[in-house]
Homo-oligomer: A and B are copies of this chain.
Amino acid sequence: MRTTRQLSLGGVKIGGGAPVSIQSMTNTDTNDAEATLAQIRELAAAGCQIVRCAVPTIRTLDAFERICAESPLPVVADVHFDHRIAVGALERGAACVRVNPGNLRGEAEAREVARTAARLGKPVRVGVNGGSLNREIAARLGKTAQAMVESAEYYIRIFEEEGCRALKVSLKSSDLRITLEACRMFAARSDIPLHIGLTEAGPVSSGIVKSSVAIGTLLLDGIGETIRVSLTAPPVEEIYAAQRILEAVGLRQASPEIISCPTCGRTHGDMLSLVAQVEREVRRIQSSGKRIALRKIAVMGCEVNGPGEASDADVGIACSAHGGILFKHGEKVATLEKAELLSAMIRELEDATLR
């Protein structure tokens, strides 16, 4: 894990050893404060920690101000082209603004945003992507990772010269390898926290795969202080995907990890529905606000993959030809009828439940 400076985004700590936080972005019309707030509440309930809203025009600031005042989450204003919107958003309640300085009118405008953020003690996300490189740097280096990093450093200098040091940086390309290279290069050269994710990740099925590869690879390298999974899907799907990525790399344990064998010709019983039922029970218990104090649970289709391969599960069930077994840490603790498997697992889940 690299050492990063810490900033506070409306109370959510980013960098400096804070847990990796999860962001999303509303896709309602920001002018419709009611609809946007409803979506933010839904995102918060799903586990989102920071939310971003597009503020496309000065006129949108009225609704945006109300959203900031009533939002249960800190709100980041997403601003392009017009620095006056960024300044206005900061003055009217944004916890942070995201600008791509490369698409503001010029350097003077970027400096004005920086001075406003510094005066109000609010952080700024400096975004660099394929579409907003510094022009001179892009001309010299092309659309490369090096150009992205040098563009970011160029803009960081401007912000820091104006006294704005609470910065996070995003480096995003729709090319996964360039994104990875840019983030690694930047991480090796700077202590500024990185916001990671892929931009324009495409349809949800391939978007989840691309984001998992990109974000997962960086997190495993210790890079990334806050993440957003971009999906062309309802925003709450982004939160679920982000949580799964953090769980996959071992950075978060929202719920017991469920391991199950891929079904094969040895499988006894209807594994797919058994796994789905166990998953549903875990969610049911957790949605009542309880926590299940188990690290791993297993649902296995046969004795081959049962206690042996899932010996690191706290509790597991494995089907056999005529029934099944309950096992704990690799040891069989009970032989069961087929019809008892699910209820035995539910009993174990509830026994391990804490308020």
Contacts and interface: CB of A to CB of B under 8 A. Distances in A.
Interface stretch (A13-21, A157-165, A255-263, A342-350): A255-263
Nearest to A271: B232
A134 interface: no
Interface in A307-325: 308-312
A65 interface: no
Contacts of A245: 209, 213
Contacts of A250: 176-177
A241 B212 CA distance: 12
A260 B264 CA distance: 36
Contacts of A42: none
B216 A248 contact: no
Interface string A168-211: 00000011110010000000000000000001111101101110
Contact count band on A = 35 or more
B264 A54 contact: yes
Given A54-B265, A203-B275, A260-B200, A130 B232 contact: no
A268 to B, nearest CB: 10
Interface stretch (A24-32, A86-94, A108-116, A284-292): A24-32
B203 A258 contact: yes
Contact of A261 (B175, B232, B257, B272): B232
Interface of A: 25-31, 36, 52-56, 60, 78, 80-81, 103, 129-132, 143, 174-177, 180, 199-203, 205-206, 208-210, 212-214, 216-217, 220, 230-233, 238, 240-241, 244-245, 247-250, 257-267, 271-272, 275-276, 279, 296, 298, 300, 304-305, 308-312
